[in-house]
């Protein structure tokens, strides 16, 4: 740890005193950066993910160009279905497609959990290379998709606004759903542990579609698996859980073995602090669309956000990934506003 020149993120996750909150942005390595677009035009998506040199170059771009306090490895949550033996196609601008969805007990039996993490060795190679290139400048974040979110894609076969098929599967075939969630969880745990071994200083679990579930259903189909992952990884590195849209789970998750909870913009800083007490570090929750506002508006809103959460046990971030249409100087203004913050 001590060889890090900037360990703000890790100190915030340990709830140690910081001069100002650390700042990074979800999806910071990618589509709003002109240098990324150049690589995108040369190589298809999974080539970029599976080539450690390219993944490293993309991971470092926002550290060099935007000045964030952490790097997050360039990868994708759908590498887990791939490692389990499920085909994933990605068309630029269209989102992912899984041609063969999971429907039956047989489909679940055929998933290959053993060795899943080994089949993702290219992610570990990218982490090790990035770690070397960073040379202690900032911490490195690894990540995975949460089991519920991965199930959504494996059942639905593509993105959805409502995830009706996934929910129908969970409600009509709960036993199969839990078998599938457990397999995804087992693979994810070994994957995240391997990421830490390869150089990740902390890991984030993205439950992007958790908010499609009611509070009761979240407790059944999402929360137990998030808690399993946090329990299994916590001794290796701090874990940040990001269940988007599931503000109702804040109290429960704040009592887990996770070190941080990511928030979207559906909850106020005050409400989030009230529900979580002083138990856990909070991260978020700037609406990425607000990065399209004029720079002075961005800077004022960032200051209000930090004042709302308080600077301690807090990580400044967006409430979801940065969108492709955000001008780079607006992303920089967001980061600068955090760095300029004073009580």
What is the set of active-site residues? 27, 31, 40, 76, 153
Q: Is 321 labeled as ligand-binding?
A: no
Dihedral angle of Cα 37, 39, 44, 46, to the nearest 10 degrees:
-100
320 marked among binding-site residues = yes
Check whether 246 is labelled as a binding-site residue.
Answer: no
328 to each of 28, 126, 167, 281, how far by Cα in Å? 10, 25, 38, 28
CA dihedral 57, 62, 67, 70 (to 10 degrees): -80
Report how far apart the first and last C-alpha atoms of the chain are (Å, whole number). Answer: 28
Find tokens 């770690």 and name the residue.
131
Question: Per the structure block, which two tokens stand in for 142?
Answer: 């690894």
Enter the DSSP assignment of 280: S
* Cβ neighbours around 218 below 10 Å, total: 23
Pairing status of strand 281-286 against strand 314-318? parallel
Query: Which residues in 21-46 are b (16+ Cβ under 10 Å) and which e?
Result: bbbbbbbbbbbbbeebeebbeeeeeb
Nearest to 144 by CA among 247, 242, 8, 24: 242
Is 76 labelled as part of a ligand binding site? yes
Q: Is 75 annotated as a binding residue?
A: no
Q: Can you tell me which residue has the tokens 């974040």?
A: 141
284's enclosing H/E stretch is: strand 281-286
Is 208 labeled as ligand-binding? yes
CA-CA-CA-CA torsion sign (69, 10, 71, 90): negative
CB within 8 Å of 302: residues ≥ 6 apart? 286, 316, 334, 337, 338, 341
Q: Tell me if 222 is assigned to a ligand binding site.
A: no
CA angle 283, 325, 93 (to 5 degrees): 100
Q: Residues at the annotated binding site? A: 27-31, 46, 76, 153, 208, 320
Q: Residues at the annotated binding site for substrate? A: 27-31, 46, 76, 153, 208, 320
């Amino acid at each position: 740890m001590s060889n890090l020149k900037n360990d703000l993120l890790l100190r915030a996750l340990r709830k140690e005193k910081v001069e100002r909150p650390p700042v990074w942005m979800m999806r910071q390595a990618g589509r709003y950066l002109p240098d990324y677009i150049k690589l995108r035009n040369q190589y298809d998506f999974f080539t970029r993910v599976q080539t450690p040199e390219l993944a490293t170059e993309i991971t470092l771009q926002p550290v060099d160009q935007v000045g964030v306090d952490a790097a997050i490895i360039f990868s994708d949550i759908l590498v887990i279905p791939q490692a389990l033996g499920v085909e994933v196609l990605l068309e630029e601008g269209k989102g992912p497609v899984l041609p063969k969805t999971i429907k039956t007990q047989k489909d679940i039996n055929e998933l290959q959990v053993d060795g899943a993490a080994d089949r993702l060795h290219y992610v570990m190679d990218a982490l090790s290379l990035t770690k070397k290139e960073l040379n202690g400048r900032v911490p490195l974040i690894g990540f995975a998709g949460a089991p519920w979110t991965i199930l959504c894609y494996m059942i639905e076969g593509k993105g959805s606004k409502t995830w009706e098929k996934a929910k129908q599967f969970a409600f009509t075939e709960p036993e199969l759903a839990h078998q599938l969630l457990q397999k995804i969880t087992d693979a994810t745990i070994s994957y995240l542990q391997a990421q830490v071994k390869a150089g990740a200083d902390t890991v984030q679990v993205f439950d992007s579609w958790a908010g499609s579930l009611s509070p009761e259903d979240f407790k059944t189909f999402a929360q137990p698996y998030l808690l399993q992952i946090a329990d299994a990884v916590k001794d290796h590195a701090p874990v940040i859980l990001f269940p988007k849209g599931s503000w109702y789970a804040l109290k429960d998750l704040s009592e887990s073995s996770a070190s941080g909870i990511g928030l979207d913009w559906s909850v106020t800083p005050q409400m989030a602090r009230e529900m979580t007490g002083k138990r856990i570090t909070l991260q978020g929750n700037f609406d990425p669309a607000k990065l399209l506002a004029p720079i002075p508006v961005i800077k004022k809103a960032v200051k209000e956000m930090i004042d709302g959460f308080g600077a301690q046990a807090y990580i400044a971030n967006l409430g979801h990934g940065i969108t492709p249409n955000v001008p780079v100087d607006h992303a920089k203004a967001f980061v600068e506003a955090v760095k300029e913050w004073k009580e």
